[in-house]
Structures are given as C-alpha cells and as structure tokens.
C-alpha cells in the first residue's frame, strides 16, 4: 500500500514557485490499478516523477509518502536510491523514444540492472519468461530499439521496468502513442502483470479516460495541482460529481463526429497560473456553478461511499 | 499543394554486416490540396513518421518524389525558403527545441527569420492573439523556458508558431496523442484555423475518431503500404480492408469493456519468418487470408475510395 499525504511539490522559478502539486492526498491499495487523469499541465507527471527522483527545479515542500508503512525519503535523492527501480519504478512520458538507439536491447537491459547493482545473470531467466508473457521473442535482445514497432517497444518497456518486481509501478502516458489495437494489447498486459502479482500496484497516468475505464480500479481526477475527485472507475464514469470531472467526461469525442456537422467543445477558459493561483477553488473561474462560497477552498470530502469530491456545491446536486 | 509520388524509404538497419532491410515506406501516393487535411493512420511502426520526415526533408527518400507545387522538394536548395513554407510538429515536442530557450525567444526568432516586415508591436499583438486561439495565456507562457511547459502546452505553442508563419504545409505527427480530451479539442480547432488560411495539413494519428473529426481524406498504412485510402466520408461509412475494419472495431468505448481473451498482438515470429516477398503484408493478422493472398494493388472500389485486398 502506498499512502500519499499532504504532498506539496513546487517548481522553483525566477518569478516564484509554481505549485504543481499542492496538498495532494490519496492511497494506492494493494493489487490496485489507480488511474490518474486531468487536463494537460495539471501535475500528473510531476506526481509520478516526485515519487522517484526530485530533480531541480522541482522541490519538496511538505507532506509524506509511505510505502507499506515505511516513510520514503523522497526529499533525499541519495537515500531514494535504495527504493528506486527495486521498490518503485517509473516509466516516464516519452520513455519509448528514450531508449538508446545505438545500443542493442540486451545491452540496454544489462546497463540498467548494472546501475542498480544487480547481476544480469540473476535476472536473465526471469527476463526470458517475461518476454514470453508479452509475446516478444528472445531474439529481440539482439536488436536495436528502432527495429521495433511502438507497441512492441512499450511491451518491452513493461518487461524492463518490472524485472525486479517493484511494489509500485508508475506508468506515465504509456499507451498514448499507440494505435487502438496496440493500446488495447499493452494496457491489458499491464493488467496481467498486476493480476499475476509481478507488481503490487500500478499508477496509470493518462489523459485517455476511455483507456482508464477499461483497466483502472479507481480514478483520481486532478485539476491545477489538486485532487478534485477520487472514486471507483464505474462511479466516476457513470456518476461524476465534480463540475470539472463532468466537463472532462463530456468533452470526450464520440467516434463519428465531423467538424463540419458538429463542433466538439472543450472546457472554456484556461487553468490558472500555478505561481499565483487564485484563492479558493482553483476551478472557480471556469465553473458554471461557482459563487462566493467558492472563494474558500473546498475540502476533499467523501460524498458517496469511496467517492471523494472537492466542491462546495456537490451536496446540492 | 503537396504530393507524394511512389514514395519509398528503405532502411538498412544492419549496422554493418547484418542484412536487416526494412521497407518503412513502400510506394505511397497521395495529394493534399490547399486547405485540405489528410489523415495518415496506421499502427506504430507503419511508416507514418518516416513519411512526415521525408516531407520535411529530414530524410531522403529511397525512391519516388515529393512535389510541392509540382517541384521536387529536394531540388529546392534554399532551406530557409523551404522551411518558411513547410513546417513540422512532432510526437515528442521537447525534441524540437533547445530547452534553455525561453518561449518568447522562439517567437522573436520566427519574426526575425521569416516576418521581418511586421513591426515588433504588431508582432507581439499577433503572438498574443494566436496563443489565445490555441488556448494558451500569453502571460503564463511567454516567460517560461521550454522545459517548464507541460507536453500539452508545448504542442499548442508549436501550432501557434506555425499559424504565425502562415505555413503552406504542416506535418503534424501525433501532436494530440498526449493531450486530454478538452485540450485536444483546442488543438484540433487550432489546426482547423490553419486549414482555413489555406494550409495543406498531413495529420498523422492513430486515433480514428480524431482523424474523422478533422480530415477530408485518409490514407491507412500497414507496414509501409497503403491498404485503403480516399475520401474520409467514404472510407468511414464503408470500410473495406480487414485492417481498417479491425481498427474501427478496437476503438475503446465508454459503454463496453474490452474482452480480455481477445488480445491480438502482432505475432513477431510469424510476421518475420512466415512472410515471403510477394505475399500480402497483412496476411499474418488477417481473418480473411488464404494462400491466394498475393501482394495486392490498390484498386478503385467506388469514386474516391481505394482498397488493396485481393478478397474485395
Ligand atoms: N521545470 C519546471 N519549471 C517550472 N514549471 C514546471 C516545470 N515542469 C513543469 N512545470 C509546470 O508544472 C505543471 C505540471 O506539469 P506536469 O508535466 O506535471 O503536467 P502533466 O499533467 O503531466 O501534463 P501533460 O498531460 O501535458 O503531460 C505545469 O503547469 C507545468 O507548466
Ligand atoms: N533510422 C532508422 N533506421 C532503421 N529503421 C528505422 C529508422 N527509422 C524508422 N525505422 C523503421 O521504420 C519503420 C517505420 O517507422 P516510423 O517511425 O515511420 O513508424 P510510425 O508509423 O511513425 O510509428 P509510431 O506510431 O510508433 O510513431 C519502423 O519499422 C521503424 O523501426
Ligand atoms: S467549489 Fe465552487 S467553483 Fe469549485 S467546482 Fe465547486 S462549485 Fe465550482
Ligand atoms: Mg505529463
Ligand atoms: Mg511516428
């Protein structure tokens, strides 16, 4: 189990701190796939990155993260080395393009485990078995990354990142560049790795709610550095409560619409500036329900069983 | 107007001795008129980016031509002129820029390189207006460094840049794939405003609903070959190639869960070993395949609609 409590991670900039994660609290249960969705720039990648490596200008402000009860030293990059890869691993956004093009895949894997002081021979058997699970042949180890299609690369990245059976795997937009059929195959393989307890829990970050609907157990919706709603996937999809969640789900495109016949509508307005975010609810100036109460910050409160929402108006609905 | 004629790209991935030849793009033809959007759809590795890179002169074709107003783009030796007319935006937007650039510097450079005739104050107004069009707030982004923007913010910034340059051709390679639904709508609208000013747009995507929403024409690629193409209305209302049909069937739905027993992935061994020169490239995944499936040619099946499958 991973507990994130009151986590604040800011980016230092010349004009002040960008409050990219501002008091974020939620738990990831054992054997769970927790989806994180939200508008571009809302802090999804910041959340994933901060659990692995706080690179400047990212800075830890307050809050804590516990893994199976043990407090993680996320503010100490050296101490975190004990946990990185072995207990927690992140597949970064654009990981697929980041594989070293001049090195064969087997070599890339050797380098990676070597960096974490694990002998390649120790994990070789497991590597072969896992490649079989994702339907890739052993020969792939003698190939270069550019010889693989995107779907194959993402399956490979899944294998590489779980070789040491981490407790928590964070996947940042891993299916976003794939065509629909590979997207399905890759997502279901992540699920299978969880089902077989190769990883204990998964944080699956994506802007693609349709994919989350397919594989996530619960969904966290973020807006401008805050969690605005958390709940079981079915509830979030069928009965979203926060005005932002509602708008987000409404803006999903339906297959079969042409711009000449019907205009898709986004959510009007911009997310707030994170350096000087407005007081109160951060969705305020885009929210159709906002009134003077919203000048105060709404707490994340349990509205239905397991469904938490941060909005003053939600009880009136 | 831009046109691909029998466009082909062969990679010899064998570093030195191995004979690993990949025909990434195999005799592809299409034409994008003024103010037209052509969707280039296909799975990962099908050759979409390779086509885009050739249109941007980042890669040389192994065969065939790309014609910009009937002139082979590789005969245009003045690159500055070429890139003032043809621009690209990519999947990973960070790769396009030096990360230590500030956003306002990018726009300054565009003016200095391509639009010197516009006064600074007018330029600044235009920048602000165009940023608004793509859903960005000038005050928020202009003073930031590239690496301080999220992926989605940067994608929209790049469209704004193309709008400011009045490009004739834009290659947009998976530019909406990292965006949430609402931001994506803004980006698609931004592309439509570029279409309105007469640009020809190659919209590379793996997302069929987006392709349908904004495009006029479509080319469906499989392993470098066109399997189906034509007017988007025709292809969507009457998809004929088994691959196009499968893609249309696997769009994730909000009211229907995936059936887990039906994970179909490309079978690597089969596609490498079993495939022989002269057979249809889709044979290892195709439900209709039999021994007669020799390499098909594109056939006209109705006006403005072509399919390459011997079973049709
Ligand atoms: N190095 C940085 N310096 C300053 N601000 C930053 C930096 N990196 C990110 N930010 C800001 O932090 C916020 C969160 O960014 P983040 O990358 O976490 O968003 P995201 O939700 O992952 O977006 P996307 O869906 O586009 O990937 C954004 O507003 C971004 O501008
Ligand atoms: N520089 C290169 N050397 C060798 N092979 C390459 C090179 N670049 C691309 N390829 C191969 O060419 C094929 C087409 O690649 P391309 O990147 O064009 O596909 P794509 O359709 O854009 O895929 P994606 O959706 O993953 O972006 C792939 O098999 C790829 O591995
Ligand atoms: S708290 Fe107010 S502004 Fe925020 S979402 Fe609820 S109603 Fe809208
Ligand atoms: Mg991100
Ligand atoms: Mg590509």
Which residues have C-beta within 8 Å of that of residue A152, sequence separation ≥ 6? A136, A140, B44, B45, B266, B268
Ligand showing the shortest atom-to-Cα distance for residue B206: 2
**Whose structure tokens read 């107007």?**
B1
For B243-280, the DSSP string reads: HHHHHHHTS--SSSPPPGGG-----HHIIIII--TTB-
Specify whether the CB–CB gap between B62 and B11 falls below 8 A: no
Contacts of B254 in chain A (CB under 8 A): 209-210, 213, 237, 252
Q: Which residue has the higher pLDDT, A317 or B187?
A: B187
Q: Is A43 in the pocket of ligand 3 (CB under 6 A)?
A: no
E strands within B33-125? Answer: 37-41, 63-68, 71-72, 86-89
d(CA A154, CA A144): 14
Which residues of chain A from 101 to 140 reach within 8 Å of chain B, CB to CB? 135-137, 140
d(CA A131, CA A124): 11
Query: Tell me, what's the pLDDT at B155?
Result: 80
Mutation pick for ligand 2 pocket among A148, A149, A173, A176 (CB with most ligand atoms within 8 Å): A149
Query: Tell me, what's the pLDDT at B273?
Result: 47
Which numbered atom of ligand 1 lies nearest the CA of A57?
1
Specify whether the CB–CB gap between A174 and A93 falls below 8 A: no
> Which one of B145, B252, B261, B268 makes the best mutation probe of the A interface by having the most chain A beta carbons within 10 Å?
B252
Confidence band, pLDDT 50/70/90 cuts, at residue B263: low
Q: Do B265 and A173 touch (CB under 8 A)?
A: no
| ipTM over 0.90 threshold | no
Which numbered atom of ligand 3 lies nearest the CA of A242?
5
How would you write A159-191 as a 3-class SS string? HHHCCCCCCEEEEECCCCCCCHHHHHHHHHHHH
Residue nearest to atom 29 of ligand 1 (CA): A41
pLDDT at B41 over 90: yes
Query: Tell me, what's the pLDDT at A108?
Result: 94
Q: Is B48 in the pocket of ligand 2 (CB under 6 A)?
A: yes
pLDDT tens digit sequence for B153-206: 788 888 899 889 989 999 999 888 778 888 888 889 889 988 998 999 999 998
| Domain ranges within chain A, ordered by starting residue | 2-248+300-316
Q: Which residue has the higher pLDDT, B177 or B80?
A: B80
Predicted TM-score (pTM) of this structure: 0.85
Mean pLDDT, all residues of chain B: 86
Query: Tell me, what's the pLDDT at A187?
Result: 93
Specify whether the CB–CB gap between B173 and B91 falls below 8 A: yes
d(CA B81, CA A113): 48
Query: Tell me, what's the pLDDT at B146?
Result: 83
pLDDT tens digit sequence for A194-224: 999 999 999 999 988 889 999 999 999 999 9
Q: Which residue has the higher pLDDT, B45 or A74?
A: A74
Contacts of A273 in chain B (CB under 8 A): 137, 139-140
Specify whether the CB–CB gap between B200 and B143 falls below 8 A: no
> Which one of B144, B150, B273 makes the best mutation probe of the A interface by having the most chain A beta carbons within 10 Å?
B150
Residue nearest to atom 16 of ligand 1 (CA): A43
Confidence band, pLDDT 50/70/90 cuts, at residue A111: very high
Confidence band, pLDDT 50/70/90 cuts, at residue A15: confident
pLDDT at B124 over 50: yes
A144 touching B, CB under 8 A?
yes
Q: Is A61 in the pocket of ligand 3 (CB under 6 A)?
A: no
Q: Which domains does chain B have, with CATH numbers?
A: 2-307 (3.40.50.300)
**Closest C-alpha among B43, B49, B13, B5 to residue B222:** B43
Q: A2-248+300-316 has which fold?
A: Rossmann fold (3.40.50)
B7 SS3 class: strand
Query: Tell me, what's the pLDDT at B193?
Result: 84
């Amino acid at each position: 189990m991973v507990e994130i409590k009151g986590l604040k991670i800011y980016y230092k900039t010349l004009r002040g701190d960008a409050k990219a994660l501002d008091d974020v609290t939620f738990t990831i249960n054992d054997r769970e796939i927790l989806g994180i969705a939200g508008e571009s720039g809302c802090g999804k990648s910041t959340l994933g990155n901060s659990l692995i490596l706080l690179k400047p200008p990212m800075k830890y402000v307050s809050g804590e993260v516990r893994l199976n009860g043990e407090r993680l030293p996320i503010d100490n990059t050296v101490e975190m080395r004990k946990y990185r890869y072995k207990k927690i691993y992140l597949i970064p956004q654009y990981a697929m393009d980041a594989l070293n093009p001049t090195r064969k895949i087997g070599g890339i894997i050797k380098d990676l485990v070597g960096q974490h002081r694990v002998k390649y021979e120790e994990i070789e058997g497991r590597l072969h078995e896992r490649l079989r699970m994702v339907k890739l042949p052993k020969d792939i180890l003698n190939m270069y990354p550019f010889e693989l299609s995107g779907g194959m690369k993402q399956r490979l990245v899944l294998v590489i990142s779980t070789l040491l059976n981490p407790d928590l795997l964070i996947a940042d937009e891993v299916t976003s560049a794939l065509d629909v059929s590979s997207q399905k195959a890759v997502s279901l393989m992540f699920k299978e790795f969880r089902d077989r307890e190769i990883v204990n829990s998964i944080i699956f970050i994506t802007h693609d709610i349709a994919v989350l609907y397919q594989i996530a157990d619960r969904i966290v919706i973020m807006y401008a550095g805050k969690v605005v709603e958390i709940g079981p996937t079915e509830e979030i999809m069928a009965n979203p409560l926060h005005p932002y969640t509602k708008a987000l789900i409404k803006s999903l495109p339906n297959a079969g619409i042409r711009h000449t016949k019907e205009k898709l509508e986004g959510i009007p307005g911009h997310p707030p500036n994170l350096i000087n975010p407005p007081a109160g609810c951060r969705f305020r100036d885009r929210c159709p329900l906002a009134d003077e109460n919203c000048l105060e910050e709404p707490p994340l409160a349990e509205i239905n069983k397991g469904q938490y929402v941060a909005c003053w108006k939600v009880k009136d609905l | 107007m831009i046109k691909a004629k029998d466009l082909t790209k062969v990679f010899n991935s064998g570093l030195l001795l191995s004979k690993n030849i990949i025909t990434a793009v195999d005799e592809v033809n299409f034409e994008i008129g003024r103010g037209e959007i052509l969707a280039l759809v296909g799975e990962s590795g099908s050759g979409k980016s390779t086509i885009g890179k050739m249109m941007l002169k980042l890669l040389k074709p192994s065969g065939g031509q790309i014609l910009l107003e009937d002139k082979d783009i590789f005969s245009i030796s003045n690159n500055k002129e070429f890139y003032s007319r043809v621009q690209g935006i990519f999947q990973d937007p960070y790769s396009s820029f030096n990360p230590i650039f500030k956003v306002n510097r990018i726009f300054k450079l565009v003016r200095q390189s391509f639009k010197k005739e516009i006064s600074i104050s007018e330029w600044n107004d235009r920048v602000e207006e165009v940023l608004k069009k793509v859903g960005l707030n000038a005050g928020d982004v202009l003073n930031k460094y590239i690496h301080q923007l999220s992926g989605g913010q940067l994608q929209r910034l790049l469209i704004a840049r193309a709008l400011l340059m009045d490009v004739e051709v834009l290659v947009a390679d998976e530019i909406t794939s990292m965006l949430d639904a609402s931001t994506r709508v803004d980006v698609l609208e931004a592309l439509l405003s570029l279409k309105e000013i007469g640009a020809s747009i190659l919209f590379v995507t793996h997302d069929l609903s987006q392709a349908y929403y904004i495009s006029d024409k479509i080319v469906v690629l499989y392993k470098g070959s066109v399997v189906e193409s034509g007017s988007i209305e025709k292809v969507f209302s009457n998809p004929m190639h088994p691959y196009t049909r499968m893609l249309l069937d696997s769009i994730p739905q909000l009211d229907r869960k995936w059936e887990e027993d039906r994970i179909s992935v490309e079978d690597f061994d089969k596609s490498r070993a079993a495939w022989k020169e002269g057979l249809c490239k889709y044979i290892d995944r195709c439900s209709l395949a039999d021994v007669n499936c020799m390499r098909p040619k594109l056939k006209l099946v109705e006006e403005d609609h072509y399919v390459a499958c011997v079973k049709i």
